[in-house]
């Protein structure tokens, strides 16, 4: 694969004169300043030590981004000729913006499309239907569609507002074999398919599902296999800051039995460090540099450095995810070109860092424990959401748990048993029962979604 990237030295030299990393710089460098920085990096002989670069925290970078986004001074290079990535952030607040040079973005799409082809995510005869979001500042539909086309697929853009019945009609009539969308949208479509007569379901020829956004749980993946049969479940990993950078293909990595997910990434386009979990704390003894990475295979905080971002560099960015780095399994070597294997690594993604929690009725609940509850064997949970609110007549906080469950059947516990399990977890008793509600939904329409990405938010906090 030809990798249209920058050297680490080039990226760091530009970072040194960029306001993301240098508080003395009001605006990002213009083309002339970048050219001079690159000339200097090419003549500098000393070895670049990535670990001596300060860590970049989300709060810090978006404080600068907010200022630059609102500044219309002609000297502000941040607003010039950029591709704008929008993220709802899952909090329901104003969308966050990350600007990438337009040409850098197009090059990244081309390189990543080639990566999908190399990793056998896409084959030349694949017909793909995408249910990704478009509009309202969100651009995942055009991003994913172009990447898949660069990989060799033929893409039908359904978007997120095409209803499930029409999506199924399109899948059948156009002989579509790949369904893609964010994880919640995929579950929505598959749930609809599960309600169809067997005769109509037999006309669906989907043999691959490619999801983005939140990691699918084991229950969700099992549900897809139960409804669609022996389909491949693949995934694309990316973010507003880094763009798309990794893929999940169990044929390469093997099947992950835990709630974690294995992704393959190319070290020529993205450098990933795994740092000690205490790194994220502002008062950490590791200081602003975060210390050395943990040993290969050990879990910690994921830190990214992109070799595809130059105008607005991404150097040692704390993603907020936890994971570990591993070698490509020897058994997978035969599936990949020999010339590529040495550049590839496996990122075992464990999900978001869940050291935050919320408080209700005097108790703290952290998200890791809630995730474990929702993946209890027999729960049948396909999607869930926690909503903190209050009554108009009272300052007391209320707690609502919204859930979509698989249809009752073998291996799925009955409703009353599961509700009792949830109530026990949240310490519901006579004194607070009037403040608690379990809401079992029939589809995804009843979930609160982020304003831009149309993603289901795990926590909706209307209380404080």
Cα 296 to its chain centre, rounded Å, is: 22
Q: What is the pLDDT of residue 287?
A: 60
pLDDT tier at 94, thresholds 50, 70, 90? low
Cα 451 to its chain centre, rounded Å, is: 17
Distances in Å between the Cα of 249 and the Cα atoms of 289, 299, 332, 397 are 33, 21, 11, 43
> Which of 50-59, 260-269, 338-347 shows the lowest per-residue confidence on average (mean pLDDT)?
50-59
- On average, the pLDDT of the chain sits at 88
Q: Residue 89: is its pLDDT beyond 50?
A: no
The predicted model scores a pTM of: 0.82
Q: Percent of the chain, pLDDT > 90?
A: 60
Q: Residue 441 class from Cβ within 10 Å (0-12 exposed, 13-18 middle, 19+ buried)?
A: middle
Q: Residue 410: is its pLDDT beyond 80?
A: no
Q: Residue 442: is its pLDDT beyond 70?
A: yes
pLDDT tier at 29, thresholds 50, 70, 90? very high
More confident residue, 89 or 96: 96
> Which of 12-16, 81-85, 159-163, 270-274 shows the lowest per-residue confidence on average (mean pLDDT)?
159-163
- The pLDDT tens digits for 170-211 are 999 999 999 999 887 898 899 899 999 999 999 999 999 999
pLDDT tier at 284, thresholds 50, 70, 90? low
- Within 8 A by CB and 6+ apart from 80, the residues are none
Q: Residue 362: is its pLDDT beyond 70?
A: no
β-bridge pairing 261-266 and 270-275: unpaired
Ordered DSSP codes for 316-369:
SEEEEEEEEEEPPPGGGGGGS-HHHHTTEEEEEEEEE----EEEETTEEEEHHH
More confident residue, 312 or 333: 312
Q: What is the pLDDT of residue 188?
A: 85
Structurally, at CATH architecture level, domain 99-350 sits in 3-Layer(aba) Sandwich (3.40)
- The pLDDT tens digits for 110-157 are 999 999 999 999 999 999 999 998 887 788 999 999 999 999 999 999
pLDDT tier at 35, thresholds 50, 70, 90? very high
Q: What is the pLDDT of residue 161?
A: 84
> What phi and psi, each to the nearest 5 degrees, are found at residue 385?
-160, 140
Domain ranges of the chain: 99-350, 363-461
Q: Residue 283: is its pLDDT beyond 60?
A: no
Number of Cβ within 10 Å of residue 99's Cβ equals 22
Selection from 371, 375, 317 nearest residue 57 by Cα: 317
Strands (E) in 240-283, as ranges, are 243-248, 261-266, 270-275
| Rounded mean pLDDT, 362-387 | 85
pLDDT tier at 464, thresholds 50, 70, 90? low
Write out the two tokens for 318: 């704390």
CA angle 111, 133, 128 (to 5 degrees): 60
Q: Residue 218: is its pLDDT beyond 90?
A: no
> Which of 15-29, 70-84, 130-144 shows the lowest per-residue confidence on average (mean pLDDT)?
130-144
| Rounded mean pLDDT, 29-45 | 86
Q: Residue 93: is its pLDDT beyond 50?
A: no
pLDDT tier at 329, thresholds 50, 70, 90? very high
**8 Å CB contact between 372 and 362:** no
More confident residue, 452 or 248: 248
Cα 75 to its chain centre, rounded Å, is: 33
Q: What is the pLDDT of residue 90?
A: 38
Write out the two tokens for 332: 């997978």
Q: What is the pLDDT of residue 92?
A: 38
> Which of 82-86, 92-96, 343-347 shows the lowest per-residue confidence on average (mean pLDDT)?
92-96
Question: What distance in Å separates the CA atoms of residue 452 and residue 240, rounded to the nearest whole number?
Answer: 13
Which strands, in side-by-side order, build the sheet including 208-212?
154-157, 127-130, 178-182, 208-212, 232-239, 243-248, 261-266, 344-352, 317-326, 300-306, 270-275
Residue 73, SS3 per DSSP:
coil
**8 Å CB contact between 245 and 238:** yes
| Rounded mean pLDDT, 254-263 | 79
Residue 71: how many CA atoms within 13 Å on its side-chain side? Answer: 15
| Rounded mean pLDDT, 269-279 | 91
Exposure letters 271-291 (e unless 16+ CB within 10 A, then b): bbbbbbeebbeeebeeeebbe
Which CATH number, 3.40.50, 2.40.360, 3.30.300, 1.10.260, labels domain 363-461? 3.30.300
Q: What is the pLDDT of residue 5?
A: 93
């Amino acid at each position: 694969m030809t990798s249209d990237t920058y050297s680490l030295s080039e990226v760091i030299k530009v970072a040194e004169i960029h306001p993301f990393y240098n508080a003395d710089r009001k605006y990002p460098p213009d083309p002339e300043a970048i050219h001079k920085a690159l000339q200097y990096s090419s003549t500098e002989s000393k070895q670049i030590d990535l670990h001596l670069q300060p860590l970049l925290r989300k709060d810090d970078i978006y404080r600068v981004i907010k200022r630059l986004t609102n500044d219309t001074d002609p000297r502000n290079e941040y607003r010039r000729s950029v591709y704008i990535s929008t993220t709802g952030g899952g909090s329901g607040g104003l969308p966050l913006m990350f600007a990438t040079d337009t040409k850098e973005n197009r090059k990244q799409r081309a390189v990543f499309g080639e990566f999908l082809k190399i990793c056998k995510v896409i084959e030349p005869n694949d017909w793909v239907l995408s249910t990704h979001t478009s509009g309202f500042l969100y651009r995942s539909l055009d991003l994913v569609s172009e990447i898949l086309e660069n990989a060799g697929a033929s893409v039908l853009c359904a978007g997120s507002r095409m209803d499930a019945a029409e999506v199924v009609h399109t899948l059948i009539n156009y002989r579509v074999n790949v369904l893609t969308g964010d994880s919640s949208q995929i579950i929505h479509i598959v749930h609809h398919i599960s309600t169809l007569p067997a005769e109509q379901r037999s006309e669906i020829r989907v043999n691959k599902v490619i999801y983005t956004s939140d990691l699918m749980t084991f229950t969700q993946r099992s549900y897809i296999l139960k409804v669609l049969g022996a389909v491949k479940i693949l995934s694309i990993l990316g973010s507003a800051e880094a763009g798309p950078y990794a893929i999940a293909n169990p044929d390469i990595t093997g099947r992950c039995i835990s709630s974690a997910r294995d992704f393959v990434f190319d070290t020529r386009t993205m450098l990933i460090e795994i740092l000690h979990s205490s790194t994220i704390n502002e008062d950490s003894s590791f200081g602003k540099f975060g210390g050395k990475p943990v040993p290969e295979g050990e879990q910690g905080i994921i830190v990214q450095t992109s070799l595809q971002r130059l105008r607005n560099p991404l150097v040692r960015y704390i993603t907020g995810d936890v994971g570990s780095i591993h070698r490509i399994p020897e058994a997978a070597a035969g599936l990949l070109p020999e010339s590529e294997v040495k550049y590839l690594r496996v990122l075992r993604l464990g999900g978001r860092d869940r050291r935050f929690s919320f408080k209700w009725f005097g108790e703290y609940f952290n998200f890791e424990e809630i995730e474990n509850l929702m993946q209890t064997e027999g729960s049948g949970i396909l999607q869930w959401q926690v909503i903190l609110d209050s009554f108009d007549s009272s300052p007391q906080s209320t707690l609502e748990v919204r859930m979509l469950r698989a249809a009752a059947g073998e291996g799925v516990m009955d409703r009353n048993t599961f509700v009792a399990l949830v109530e026990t977890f949240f310490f519901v008793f006579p004194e607070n029962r009037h403040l608690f509600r379990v809401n079992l939904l029939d589809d995804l329409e009843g979930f609160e979604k982020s304003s831009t990405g149309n993603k289901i938010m795990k926590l909706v906090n209307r209380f404080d």
